[in-house]
Structure 1
Amino acid sequence: MTSSAFETDTPHPIVYLDRVAATDHGRSYKGRMRDELDICPGQTVLDLGCGPGTDLASLAQAAAATGAVIGVDHDRAAVDAARERTAGQHTVTVRLGDIHDLPLPDRTADRARTDRVLQHVADPVRALREIHRVLRPSGRLIMGEPDWDTLAVDHPDSGLSRAYTQFVTDKVVRNARIGRQLPRLATEAGFAVPAVIPITSVFRDARAADEILGLERTTQRAVAAGYLTEEGAQRWLDHLSTGPFFAAVTLYLVVAES
């Protein structure tokens, strides 16, 4: 079960995050997140799950020289990369920390963002309560999270497509349906939720989709888990690599206010 069209090796996490950010889809939704944050000069902004610091510079630009940007991530390698990338930017600091137990005092920040982070955490509600704790009254949180149950990949055998998406939602992503759940979870954590903005990424090129979705790697895992047969998986990959390609998935931007 192979296809020369797709990657077989898992990219390094930092390489993958940089790759997503550099796509048209990535630039578009990240720009919309910044717009919805509505950062004013002088404000303190948190990037929670900041990864290698992809977005810290643009947040610092919005907060200006009188503001402050604090990146927090649980991964030491990501924190080191973020510190290196923002060296010399005096308004930016990066801290090693757990989103469930933020290393920050109460009412620290005016703005906060999470970008595809809550889909992976152990306890999203606990994380949201922590964010609520560190935001000042009338603070704003913008969350960008996919709902992997919306993943649609066209194939002549729709059963293969359903099995693939079911595997992703059941086994690949811890909180795979977090996108649709966020308005409720944020409300439970004490936020008001004035807006939910759906952003659907559409892929017409198989290789571009593979760079985000890891089509062959995920298919191999689906076979090992019993969601697809070897024969079905090969038919799946053969069509995706040679036929007209279409895939789409929806990410939800959830605006929350403390």
Structure 2
Amino acid sequence: MTSSAFETAKPDPVTYLDRLATSDLGRSYKRRMLDELDLRAGHRVLDLGCGPGTDLEALAAAVTPAGAVIGVDHDQNMVDAARARMTGRDVVDVRHADIHDLPMPDHSADRARTDRVLQHVADPLAALGEICRVLRPGGRLVMGEPDWETLAVDHPDSDLTRAYTRHVAEQVVRNAAIGRQLPRLATESGFTVPTVIPVTPVFRDVQAADKILGLERTSRRAVEADYFTDDAVEAWLSHLRQGPFFAAVTFYIVVAEA
């Protein structure tokens, strides 16, 4: 059984990233991250895991033509999309590279950002060490990451909720607890961490939550991974679609200084 309350087909990655960026949640936390970067005219800033270039325009505007924006992504399709979007913006350079091995000299950037990237990388500690290497002394890194182990979804059967959230934390996201780990990992990588900002979006509309969480798609994967039975997933989704609905997850903005 499916319901029009849920998406059953996974959106392509560019569509998903653009949709999140233009949501109220996306606009709010991205603005806060931009404020914390404290960009100035002439700064050289890195957008690591830039995706299709969603945030490159805002960074370019902040550093002005006197500065430079370097977008980096490991996915060639994302690099191609970002380059197409930034055509004519001479201040922006988009590169195909690995965050664990950045093709940049030591101490060559003033600022860097990662936005929901470190939850997916193979070695967050190594990636942070590489970012510290390329930032100049006194440079700033601003990171935004969810802590998926804080994901809460209200349901009368708490066992079903735990099955869903355990599947997300254990199977769906590589580094599910990265949000809470960032201050420690950044410190171990040579940064100081002056600021940690928790942001906890609350979803009261099931369709809005589904656009971020993929509730039915993720639940079906949980059945395949033996976290749910077929009957259990139907009971889970049936209540979610009927409401009232509540979900929340904590997202951390972490400021680190080299």
TM-score by length of 1: 0.99
CA distance in 1, matches of 2:251, 2:147: 6
Question: Which residue does 2:179 correspond to in 1?
Answer: 179
Question: Which residue does 1:13 correspond to in 2?
Answer: 13
Question: Which residue does 2:228 correspond to in 1?
Answer: 228
Higher mean displacement: 227-236 or 122-131: 227-236
Question: Which residue does 2:214 correspond to in 1?
Answer: 214
1:4 Cα offset (Å)? 3.0
1:243 Cα offset (Å)? 1.4
CA RMSD of aligned residues (A): 0.7
1:228 Cα offset (Å)? 1.2
The letter of the residue matching 1:184 is R
Question: Which residue does 2:255 correspond to in 1?
Answer: 255
Deviations 1:140-197 (A, max 9, x none): 0000000001110111111111111011000000000000000000001000000100
CA distance in 2, matches of 1:181, 1:46: 22
1:3 Cα offset (Å)? 2.6
Question: Which residue does 1:45 correspond to in 2?
Answer: 45
Q: Secondary structure at the match of 1:176?
A: coil
Question: Which residue does 1:80 correspond to in 2?
Answer: 80
Question: Which residue does 2:29 correspond to in 1?
Answer: 29
Q: Secondary structure at the match of 1:141?
A: strand
1:120 Cα offset (Å)? 0.1
1:113 Cα offset (Å)? 0.1
Question: Which residue does 1:205 correspond to in 2?
Answer: 205
Q: Extract unaligned runs of 5+ from structure 1.
A: none
Q: Extract unaligned runs of 5+ from structure 2.
A: none
* % identical equivalent positions: 70
The letter of the residue matching 2:161 is S
How many aligned residue pairs are there?
A: 258
Question: Which residue does 1:167 correspond to in 2?
Answer: 167
CA distance in 1, matches of 2:74, 2:225: 29
1:122 maps onto 2:122 in alignment = yes
The letter of the residue matching 1:21 is A
1:255 Cα offset (Å)? 0.5
1:231 Cα offset (Å)? 1.1
CA distance in 2, matches of 1:93, 1:12: 24
1:65 Cα offset (Å)? 1.4
Question: Which residue does 1:237 correspond to in 2?
Answer: 237
1:90 Cα offset (Å)? 1.0
1:59 maps onto 2:62 in alignment = no
The letter of the residue matching 2:144 is G
Deviations 1:103-154 (A, max 9, x none): 1111110000000000000000000000000000000000000000111011
CA distance in 1, matches of 2:229, 2:246: 22
Q: Secondary structure at the match of 1:155?
A: coil
1:230 Cα offset (Å)? 1.1
Question: Which residue does 1:155 correspond to in 2?
Answer: 155
